[in-house]
Chains A and B, each alone.
Chain A
Amino acid sequence: MTEQNTPLVEMKNISISFGGIHAVENASVDLFPGEVVALLGHNGAGKSTLIKVLSGAYKRDNGDIMINGETVDIRNPRDAKKYGIETIYQTLAVADNVDAAANLYLGRELQTKWGTLDDVAMEASTREVMGRLNPNFKRFKEPVKALSGGQRQSVAIARAILFDARILIMDEPTAALGPQETAQVGDLIKQLKREGIGIFLISHDIHDVFDLADRVFVMKNGKVVGHARTGDVTKDEVLGMIILGKVPPGATPGPGAMKVV
């Protein structure tokens, strides 16, 4: 059981500011293996910024990041990938002038013994991964630009899981998708969860993530309002946390909780 008590990720007292504005102040979140944690808050609440500290896009000013209980130093996206942290950005972050295989392996290309790109091997495993995620996907030779939103999303997700991620960060994963594709992403999240991957879901829309998440963290004005198991609170109570910063009885208050009850 002690194994279970060590979080996969623990971010402690993280602060980061841009030109005097505190984007994130003294925020702490944690994530256990096989758990889905939703990070909620309005636009500008600091949730994306906080998570970009974990994915290596931003460098924190203060605070510690622990992976499996060990303090780690994440300075750039390469460091994060080294610890098995993969991120799917809201903007999808794909190079849309190259094809799916090139995007999946971007920055980690397979090479032949001559040091040239092993396109054959990359394409083969791309076909395998995409076949598992999205069996309808057939357009392997076309630049990603030519794909639909859902297909691009599946390329972005395939890229994250291709390298055996242990921690998956999904920033507004369904924002650009239609209902059917959203359901597909939901199924995928459940499948990844069964494989023991810890997942951070970031969203400003509670309905997107409430049913998928095991726990929610709510942020407001750069601070953590509080966190709760989704079983212990209702959607309305979580909305209260998001809008007012009011912490319901079922939740644990954080530094950003409303002072006057």
Chain B
Amino acid sequence: MAETIRSTTNSKTSAAAGQAEGNIVARFFRATEIDTRMLGMIGALLIIWVGFHILTGGLFLTPRNLWNLSVQTASVAVMATGMVLVIVTRNIDLSVGSILGFTGMIMGVLQARFLPEMLGFDHPAIWIIALAGGLVVGALIGTLHGVIIAFLGVPSFIVTLGGLLIWRGATWFVTSGQTVAPMDVNFRLMGGGTEGSIGATWSWIVGIIACLAIIAAIINARRQRKRFSFPRRPVWAEYVLVALGCVIVLGAVWIANKYYWPINIARRYAEANNIAWPEGGLLISQGIAIPVLMAIAVGIVMTFIATRLRFGRYVFAIGGNPEAAELAGIKTRWVTVKIFALMGMLCAIAAAISTARLNAATNAQGELDELYTIAAAVIGGTSLAGGMGSIAGAMLGALVMQSLQSGMVLLGIDSPFQRIVVGMVLVTAVWLDTVYRSRAK
């Protein structure tokens, strides 16, 4: 978990910092207890961003591209949070892309064919019923996989490899291969776009709430440490952390608000609302996209599950030593089933985001997503040997993968070559991680 990883790195950094007492950089990191590993990833991300910005001649670090990047990352980031738990328990899930396709198709058929017949078109309840239907189907598929893995003893690699083929095939059978479109008006909001963003005012409100949450979390952590007389960070370090967190959050909001509605949509909006068209054009902020908010909410919930609940503790204990977990009386098989059921539900959430974004459910939806999801989790520091990983890291990993991809698209690199690059980056990232871990011991 993030905590365990952090604590190991802490002991290492504090030991290293002991030698270089005068070194201001070492002292800064020791005082703020910023995880150096996470920092390395953020550094890599910044290098990728700046690199592409220069190579594309200033196209990458624009509000528009960053906003699109955030929306494109959402779907894989949602699935990566679940993949962390799967990999931590020494399993793998190769079927997430196909489950995404299948649940997406189920949700598409529900809202485009069945529900309008029963409730009428654009009924306000359609989106939620469709989403709930997708979540139930996703959970059932995941449960089925989990039961076969845990109780029948078939390795997860094989079960989910079978699932990869089976659910992709099943997707085809739902509509005999036809694409289902368009999606329900409200459902479409989950895909982002002009409609599916919350605008400037709400974005600022979300940003301010996030800042308050950061402050509350840091104060609470400090109080807990005080209560048990643990070493506390120096006060200035706490302020630095608060400032850093708030600057990042508010900066992101500011960028999202700097991306304005496309001129045609703004013009239509102006006409519809009898607003005179101003000289410089009407600038209406997009604000944060709804899928991004969904992904962040999933990340927060999953982090809570992984660190604050028994279930999460068991997941990591099983990953660390399955035999010890079993002997401690943990129902390890049920934990496995629950992990896969959760993974299935996350696939359905990702499917909602991607079908809403495309405004259609297709056969090929989510193809290769299993590999991007696994890559995101692994780049984000989840160890394939089990027992280690963090939700935040995996989501950041998803952002790294997506940044590489959209950067290459902006550069006009052919898609075969894109895959070659992504593949090489994955292998290199894991190699660097191995080096890091063997050093950390």
Contact = CB atoms under 8 A, between A and B. Distances in A.
The CB with the most chain B CB atoms within 10 A, among A96, A106, A115, A123, is that of A106
A97 B316 contact: yes
Contacts of B227: 120
Contacts of A55: 327
Interface string B19-38: 00000000000000000000
Contact of B324 (A106, A123, A141): A106
Nearest to A114: B308
B226 to A, nearest CB: 12
B11 A146 contact: yes
B228 A123 contact: yes
B8 A142 contact: yes
B439 interface: no
Given A107-B329, A117-B313, 18 more contacts: A55-B327, A76-B329, A91-B323, A93-B323, A95-B321, A97-B316, A98-B313, A98-B316, A99-B4, A106-B313, A106-B324, A107-B330, A109-B313, A115-B309, A117-B309, A142-B7, A142-B8, A146-B11
Q: How large is the interface on B (under 10, 10 to 19, 20 to 34, 35 or more residues)?
A: 20 to 34
B62 interface: no
A117 B308 contact: yes
Closest 10 CB pairs of A and B: A97-B320, A95-B320, A107-B328, A97-B387, A107-B329, A95-B317, A93-B324, A106-B328, A78-B329, A116-B308
A55 B329 CA distance: 11
B327 A98 contact: no
Contact of B319 (A94, A97, A116): A97
Nearest to A115: B309
A95 to B, nearest CB: 4
A177 B309 CA distance: 34
Contacts of B387: 95, 97
Q: How large is the interface on A (under 10, 10 to 19, 20 to 34, 35 or more residues)?
A: 20 to 34
B388 interface: yes
A97 B4 contact: yes
A24 B54 CA distance: 73
Interface in A132-147: 141-143, 146
Interface of A: 55, 57, 76-78, 81, 87, 89, 91-99, 102, 106-109, 111, 115-117, 120, 123-124, 141-143, 146
Contacts of A120: 224, 227-228
Contacts of B319: 97
Interface in B205-258: 224, 227-228, 230
A86 to B, nearest CB: 11
B395 to A, nearest CB: 21
Contacts, number: 88
A77 B323 contact: no
A149 B324 CA distance: 16
* Prevailing SS type, chain A contact patch: loop
Contacts of A95: 316-318, 320-321, 324-325, 328, 387
29 contacts: A55-B327, A77-B328, A81-B329, A87-B327, A93-B321, A93-B324, A95-B324, A95-B328, A97-B316, A97-B387, A98-B1, A98-B313, A98-B317, A98-B320, A99-B7, A102-B313, A106-B330, A107-B325, A107-B328, A107-B329, A108-B328, A108-B329, A117-B309, A124-B228, A142-B8, A142-B11, A143-B4, A143-B7, A146-B8
A17 to B, nearest CB: 21
A81 B330 CA distance: 12
B364 to A, nearest CB: 39
Contacts of A93: 321, 323-324, 327-328
Contacts of A81: 329
Contacts of B228: 120, 123-124
A111 B7 contact: no
A76 B228 CA distance: 36
A232 B304 CA distance: 60
Nearest to B4: A143
Contacts of A98: 1, 4, 313, 316-317, 320
B351 to A, nearest CB: 29
A21 B309 CA distance: 43
B271 interface: no
The CB with the most chain A CB atoms within 10 A, among B8, B230, B310, B318, is that of B310
Interface in B324-374: 324-330
Nearest to A112: B308
Contacts of B309: 115-117
Contact of B310 (A77, A97, A117, A124): A117
Given A111-B310, A117-B309, A141 B330 contact: no
B302 to A, nearest CB: 14
A101 B228 CA distance: 14
Contacts of A115: 309
Nearest to A78: B329
